Amino acid sequence: MKLIKITMNQTNNFGRIVLLLCALFLGNMTFAQDSMRADEIGNNWTPFTTIEGVNVSLKKEKVDVGAPDAFTYGMLRFENTTSNDITIEFLFELQYENGCVGCGNVEEYRKVVTIPAGATLEGDASFALPELTLLINNPYTTDLGAFQSLKTVQFNIK
């Protein structure tokens, strides 16, 4: 009888461990799928997601880069609400009518930023923090078609 109780307890513990691992895995998968359609990105900061005390917002902005037509950028804002400096490694995929930029876990599009405790960092047209800008529309590159959406592929706290 004791052998059966031990086996039952081991089975219960194994089930709990599997359930915990599934919850952790699915939690990460859910976060990795944060996305926003093009029509949801406005000219004002729009909340995008929160990860471990960092609020991430997004807005779009037309930027004069010296060409006849302005380029459109997605500007990121990271607000660290914690009392510790936080370094985040992230990767976005930008979906267009005829293709994708950043798809396939491309190293070129992987970015890293450190947000001091209690601070807010914002991308802007000065490009002082280029890692907080995403080129959404280059009016001279039309083969991708119209911008459709963006999604996070990776957000890692380091």
The total of other beta-carbon atoms located within 10 Å of residue 120's CB is 14
More confident residue, 41 or 6: 41
Q: Are 74 and 150 in contact (CB under 8 A)?
A: yes
CA gap 43, 70 in Å, rounded: 15
The third-level CATH classification (topology) of the domain covering 35-157 is Immunoglobulin-like (2.60.40)
Identity of the residue numbered 108 = E
34-66 pLDDT tens trace: 899 999 999 999 999 999 999 999 999 999 999
Q: Are 154 and 49 in contact (CB under 8 A)?
A: no
CA gap 74, 58 in Å, rounded: 7
106-152 pLDDT tens trace: 788 899 999 999 999 999 999 999 999 999 999 998 899 999 999 99
At 25, list the tokens: 């895995």
Count of all residues that appear for the chain in the document: 158
